[in-house]
Structure 1
Amino acid sequence: MNHVGEAPPSENHAKRFAGEEGAVWHPAPEIQQSSHLWQIMDLLDLESVEELHRFALANPERYYRTLIKHLGLTFSCPFDQLCDDSRGAPFPSWFPGGKLNIVDTCLRSDGEGGNGPAIVTVFESGQATASVSRSDFRQLTAQLASRLVATGIAPGDCVGLFLPMTIEAAVAFFACAWVGAIAVPCFSGYGPESLATRLKDCKAKLLVVASGFHRKGKWIEMADTARAALSMVACPPDVICVADPERAGTLPSNWRDWEVEIAAGALADPVDPVQTDPNHPLLLMYTSGTTGQPKGIVHSHAGFLLKCTADFALAFNVKAADRFAWATDLGWIVGPQMIVANAALGATSIFFVGALDSPDQEQMWRFCEQQEVTILGISPSAVRAMGAAEPTGPTERHDLSRLHSFISTGEAWDERSWRWLFEKVGMKRRPIVNYSGGTEIGGGILAAYAVLPMRECAFSGPVIGMGAEIIYNDTAAGAEPIGELVVTQPWPGMTHGFWGNDDARYLETYWSTFPGVWHHGDLATRDSSGWWYIRGRSDDTIKTSGRRVGPAEIENVLLLHSSVVEAAVVGAPDALKGQKIIAFIIAADGAEQSSGALSALVRARLGASMVPSEIYFIGSLPKTRNGKIVRRALAAAYAGEDAGDVSALANFDVIREVARARLR
């Protein structure tokens, strides 16, 4: 295991980063020269991104001090050293001796930062767009922080946030940080039991909830969900409600009103931001698993601030002039990342409350045009749906001239969808920044970079400073070499373990597969030119005839057929092969549902061993609200088994549809 300060190991490949071979997009030299990435290279007198990455791994102390200064991250008391890893790689203590509060960087009181609004919220329902200036954003946060202290919230207390992505969500998040409390964002689509499980596990002292919001033309009731959840908690927390004016009269009388609390905070004595140890918990994010209780991922003030701000600066090249939009949820790690990193970099965060495919697929592009979005986060699933609905693209009907780059995460790309976005929307001029990491990482492991050459569906290499490697395994005959994505040394931003000091479960989950190495659970490949690819989750791996194959490899071939809109592949028990390959297909409207044509395509591209044993045509796939396909739910529905925690699914009905298709 490489601990902080030691040089990284030698590799079979001379370079970890792809160069220009096979690239379909190249950045202009002037964009590179003005980027955060090039500025860091200049500060360290380095010649290439590859050299910068190797320097960051071999000399993390100097690298991160340089990065912190460049990004303007504020410590009220300087730290003595970067890291104390005396407890071993899984349990580093970062920036010992230092003190800080994240709000001193993100909500600057000195007037510095971008000139645009801090946050803009756009509502699907068509109600008036809301925005807040940077000074007002800080003031609202200070007022709520005063009320939190006055009502007994202390450092280390947990505060549940059950809210859509709105200005109030960001104010509540930073108000928790201001007083040293721990924000616990909860997915806005949770049912009562899922919400109650998290409130009980963290022993929340306060819940901030919204009445609800509109999504796809329907009112999503959050207050009733919260009320039902609280009835399941033995010691329920206090409640502050962001009340919809038309529904305020239906709320419980003991719930405090958001507007009243903010107004009272304006009259209260102000409180200074609590200066915390850098490892003091900032954020508790729950992730679902196939078995057992959801895992509470702990992130700290210094680590989360540095990791997500660095990723947004170096990989996405976010500047103060940017208007950054990403249709996400407060309960996904991208939500807090977006709140923190854009505030730290002075960019404007643009939140969309609702669904960007409602009332139609044009909603996304109307939104980008009206809000003059410059950077757009978008999922491959959303792109597949839009490409199927509008093959020629939206640019003739919408002015997207301010838009200069896309970001995607959460799932692997297929070539057809990537090329549609790049060619029909991006007009071959806008990069697609592929980004992959996770809740536990605090950001990314791999990235394409907005200022480096780009190849379809690929990553340029690791996020700077992440010791990413691939440990290869046996692969199906004729398939590409595939292996487990790992990280070989600690990094700021990594989780501080699981909530409740569940060290045994934490070590078993991430550190036991390859001793001393972080096992992330993603399947990855790297080609001879140095380009990296994610091929799905290793727990989705299909083991057929003693070999392993990632589902994305087969799905990408299926998606090449003109009749296929979406595809998902899973493994199912088979007495002869160990596992057989099962494919679920969403066909284009009016297209012939021909399993024979799809089988022939897979056979021609990948060989006979990769042809699905069964192909089912269904109406939808089980997805989270941010578009990620939950393959384990498909596999469980096919087998008639329990899928584990599926509380984040946006469409539960598909599970029954899969079961019915299996029985036909």
Structure 2
Amino acid sequence: MKTYLAHGTRFEDTALCRFLNDYGHADLDALHASAREEPTRFWAEVEDAVGLTWHRRYHTVCDLSHGPEWPRWFVGGELDLFENLVGRRARATPEQPALIWEGDDGDLRRFSWRELDDAARRLTTALARLGVCPGERIAMYLPMVPETAVVFLAAARLGAIVLPLFSGYGADAVASRLIDSEAMVMVCADGYLRRGKRVDMLGEARSAAAAAPALAHLLVVPRLGTPWAPQASGQWREWDYRSLVAACDPDTGPTIHGTATPLMILYTSGTTGRPKGVVHTHAGFPLKAAQDLLMAFDLNPGDRLAWITDMGWMMGPWLVFGGLLRGATLVFFEGTPDHPTPDRIWQLVGRHRLTHLGLSPTLARLLMAAGDAGLPQPGQLDSLRVFGSTGEPWNDAPWHWLFESVGQGRCPIINYSGGTEIGGGILGCFPGLAQKPCGFAGPIPGMQADVVDAEGTSLLDQDGDEVGELVLRAPWPGMAHGFWRDAARYLDTYWSRFPGLWVHGDWARVDADGHWFIQGRSDDTLKIAGKRVGPAEYESALVAHPLVAEAVAIGVPHPVKGEVATCFVTLADPAAADSADWHAHETALIAHVAGLLGKPLAPARVHRVSALPRTRNGKILRRLVRAVWLGADPGDLGSLENPSALDALRDYRDSLEAVV
């Protein structure tokens, strides 16, 4: 496969190259070797490079006396995280922009470093008056508004623990997380705008609060500005966020906490059972986020970073903690990137002079389908240096569209894969170095990644690019500090399969040139004709056909073959194939996939659907397609953006069964 090198960045000019030079590493391979052989040296260099300042310097970089599952990082160290994120810059460059917000309706709000510092200090005072102490939990049920960053910062000052919740959750999903965490305070919004429509949040928040006995206070951010009166409740008290904060003086003085102090609980969507609460710490999560932004994204002080995401997903807190620690200006976008016109996202880049933009492959596919209307206008992307992407595998055609048609070959696509429990990325690309479409240049330095077979034996030294389990052979500072009040579940999820290895749950391969590829979740992997195949291979093959806009592939049990591939597609032109034509189109698509993957791997069926289930940030939920198609419990639906897609899939499945 051909490699590509964006012509807008020289590796010699990047922050990663400066890191190599500053700490005496000959090249990237030497850096990987140092991280593997001298991890104490490497991680000390990383914390120095991202500029952490210590109230009390640590005496040990990493203590593994409790095993790799429970490392203790920067032992003995104490730091003022707020000072590292905001305080020092509020003194040095008080009027420089720290945060810019653009609403769905085009409204703008701007915070300088001084203003962000002041807002967080006032909220700290307000929360302390409400009785929030170190270790208390603060739920954050907010859209992408500036107050999200303020809540993170105030909680860090107090030593409280933040629970960022997806803004699209309904009351039941919010309540389950409030109950599990025993949150004392929830900061919510009255609502938000999405595609020009007002979406209520306060009603959902109140319903959730009624089911959460530990909740004592509800702070309401008036995003919509709709007049409201605090609801009388014997259980919790409601406050107008802005009035409460305005009445408080800024909290002053240092706020010192140990490196292992819990910072945040990030809840993941579970298929069954109660959601997993991933615990992150004061030192680990910000350090990992800032390291990745430095090394993989070349983010520098004064750059402008936006990511199309939600604070309930890992990339939201990653944006805040990593971006602020790097001294970048954060740009929050409330709206949808193709509303009211398909080029809204490129308008965002041009208006705010973004240097870095994160988006999903699904969004690229959506804009590509809009034709010329989805392309930027001349000059709109002049400031942009880097595209970021995470959350799902790429397909070849939209990758090339973004790199060539949108970025004009000038902006690298930093494909980035990790997860909530990682605190950032395992694999990435690097500006100024060659990349392959849909792939990764390799592991982020410090991530001792490997691909292993069913017995845990490395496949990297073998011939070919065989698919195997993605594992990590050493701990890292940003890793989960366990699950909230559930150590056994944490150990069972990641550490139970191979002794001493973190099993991430992704199926991966490394090609002969050393480029890495994620083939999908290992529990999604299909075994067809005796060969393990990632669903992404089927999906990329289908999307390469002009008839198909999006695709999902699942494995379906078969009485003779064991498992067959069944695919679901949305059409690039829904009017292109009526029911009378579909059989011929399906036959052509099956032949197309067989021609690319080989006849033994041809899918058994290709079904057309009107929509595929997805999250708000565009990630297609393959597990829900499989669950509905097989009649299984789909589990947690809290992150689902379009429930009607599941209803339509059930109806379609039922109609086929009725015919049979």
Aligned to 2:336: 355
Letter in 2 for 1:187: F
CA distance in 2 between counterparts of 1:216 and 1:226 reads 22
> Could you tell me which residue of structure 2 aligns to residue 182 of structure 1?
161
Question: Which residue does 2:610 correspond to in 1?
Answer: 619
Hey, what's the Cα distance between the residues in 1 that align with 2:454 and 2:342? 41
Letter of the 1:179 counterpart? L
Q: CA deviation at 1:375?
A: 0.8
Query: Quick check: 2:289–2:322 contact (8 Å CA) kept in 1?
Result: yes
Which residue of structure 2 lines up, in the alignment, with residue 655 of structure 1? 646
Where does residue 416 of structure 1 map in the other structure?
Answer: 397
Q: Is the 8 A contact 1:113 1:320 kept in 2?
A: no
Please state whether the residue corresponding to 1:465 is helix, strand or coil.
Answer: coil
Q: Retained in 2: the 8 A contact 1:116–1:347?
A: no
Alignment correspondent of 2:446? 465
Structure 2 partner of 1:265: 248
Q: Any idea what SS the aligned residue of 2:333 has? A: strand
SS across alignment from 1:624: coil
Q: Does 1:60 align with 2:39?
A: yes
Q: Which residue of 1 aligns with 2:433?
A: 452
1:36 and 1:470 map into 2 onto residues whose CA distance is 28
The 1-side partners of 2:87 and 2:435 are apart by: 35
Q: Secondary structure at the match of 1:662?
A: helix
Alpha-carbon distance in structure 1 between the residues aligned to 2:184 and 2:194: 29
CA distance in 1 between partners of 2:390 and 2:347 (Å) = 22
Residue 365 of structure 1: aligned partner: 346
Equivalent residue for 1:435?
A: 416
Is 1:147–2:130 an aligned residue pair?
no
Cα deviation, residue 108, structure 1: 2.5
The CA deviation at 1:290 is: 1.5
| Pair 1:638-2:629 in alignment | yes
- 1:361 deviates by 1.4
Aligned to 2:494: 510
Query: 1:349-384: per-residue Cα shift (whole Å, max 9, x none)?
Result: 100002112223121112212121111101000000
Please state whether the residue corresponding to 1:195 is helix, strand or coil: helix
Distance 1:234 1:26, change over 3 A: closer
How far apart, in 1, do the equivalents of 2:201 and 2:432 lie? 41
Q: Does 1:340 align with 2:321?
A: yes
What amino acid maps onto 1:259 in structure 2? Answer: R
Q: From 55, 70, 84, give the equivalent of 1:105.
A: 84
Give 1:398 shift. Answer: 5.7
User: Are 1:535 and 2:519 an aligned pair?
Assistant: yes
Residue 285 (1) aligns with residue 266 (2):
yes
Where 2:78 maps in the other structure, the secondary structure is: coil
Partner of 2:548: 564
Write the mapping of 1:230-249 to structure 2, written as runs, cut at 5 A: 230-244=209-223, 246-249=225-228
More off after superposition, 58-67 vs 635-644: 58-67
**Structure 1: distance between partners of 2:337 and 2:216:** 33
2:357 to 345, 369, 376: 376
Taking structure 1 as reference, are residues 566 and 391 closer, same or farther at Cα in structure 2, changes over 3 Å only?
Answer: farther
CA distance in 2, matches of 1:326, 1:65: 29
1 CA distance for matches of 2:602 and 2:454?
Answer: 21
Aligned to 2:199: 220
Q: Report if the CA contact (8 A) 2:465-2:512 is conserved.
A: no
Report the CA distance shift for 1:178/1:659 in structure 2 as closer, same or farther (over 3 A): same
In the TM superposition, residue 436 of structure 1 has moved relative to its aligned partner by 0.3
Matching residue within 363, 370, 384 for 1:403: 384
Identity %: 38
- Which secondary structure state, in structure 2, belongs to the residue aligned with residue 45 of structure 1? coil
Distance 1:601 1:473, change over 3 A: farther
Q: How far apart, in 1, do the equivalents of 2:5 and 2:359 lie? A: 19
Unaligned runs of 5+ residues in structure 1 are: 1-20
Deviation of 1:262 after TM superposition, in Å, equals: 1.5
* Residue 481 of structure 1, aligned match among 418, 443, 466: 466
Contact 1:113 1:345 in 2 (8 A): no
Question: What are the Cα deviations for residues 569-616 of structure 1, in whole angstroms up to 9, with x where unaligned?
Answer: 011121112222110000111333411111111111111222111211
Aligned twin of 1:118: 98
> In the alignment, residue 522 of structure 1 is paired with which amino acid?
D
Partner of 2:480: 495
Determine the structure 2 residue equivalent to 1:95.
74
Residue 539 (structure 2) aligns with: 555
SS in 1 for 2:425: strand
Q: CA–CA distance in 1 between the matches of 2:354 and 2:8?
A: 21
Question: Which amino acid in the other structure matches residue 646 of structure 1?
Answer: L
Higher mean Cα deviation, 182-191 or 36-45? 36-45
Q: Distance in 2 between matches of 1:92 and 1:56?
A: 16
| Residue range with higher mean Cα deviation, 390-399 or 220-229 | 390-399
User: How far did residue 271 of structure 1 move?
Assistant: 4.2
SS in 1 for 2:125: helix
The letter for the 2-side match of 1:570 is: I
- C-alpha contact (below 8 Å) 1:546/1:578 kept by paired residues: no
Cα distance in structure 2, aligned partners of 1:202 and 1:325: 30
The answer on whether the counterparts of 2:94 and 2:114 sit within 8 Å (CA) in structure 1 is no
Aligned to 1:3: none
Shift of 1:236: 2.6
The range that moved more, 174-183 or 585-594, is: 585-594
Cα distance per residue 1:97-142 (max 9 Å; x no partner): 110132111013363469741111101123x200100011011101
In 2: Cα distance, 1:305 partner to 1:35 partner:
21
Q: Provide the rounded CA distance (Å) in 2 between the counterparts of 1:451 and 1:45.
A: 19
The Cα of 1:251 is off from its aligned counterpart by 4.4
- State the match for 1:578 in structure 2: 562
Checking the alignment, whether the CA contact within 8 Å between 1:327 and 1:626 is kept in structure 2 is: yes
Distance in 2 (alpha carbons) for counterparts of 1:87 and 1:579: 42
Q: 1:75 aligns with which of 54, 69, 87?
A: 54
- TM-score, normalised relative to structure 1: 0.93
Task: Describe the SS at the equivalent of 1:95.
Answer: strand
Aligned to 2:513, what secondary structure does the other structure show? Answer: coil
Change (3 A) 1:393 1:512: same
The alpha carbon displacement at 1:237 in A equals 2.9
Q: Deviations over 1:145-190 (max 9, x none)?
A: 1111122100000000001121111001110110100011000000
Would you say 1:200 and 2:179 are equivalent positions?
yes
Residues 429-466 of structure 1 deviation map (CA, whole Å, 9 limit, x = unaligned): 11100000000000000001123222211111000100
One of 131, 140, 144 as aligned partner of 1:165: 144
Amino acid corresponding to residue 588 of structure 1 in structure 2: A
* Structure 2 letter corresponding to 1:124: D
- Structure 1: which 4+ aligned runs deviate by more than 4 Å? 26-29
The yes-or-no answer on 1:43 pairing with 2:26 is no
CA distance in 2, matches of 1:61, 1:68: 11
C-alpha separation in 1, matches of 2:203 and 2:309: 22
Shift of 1:250: 4.6
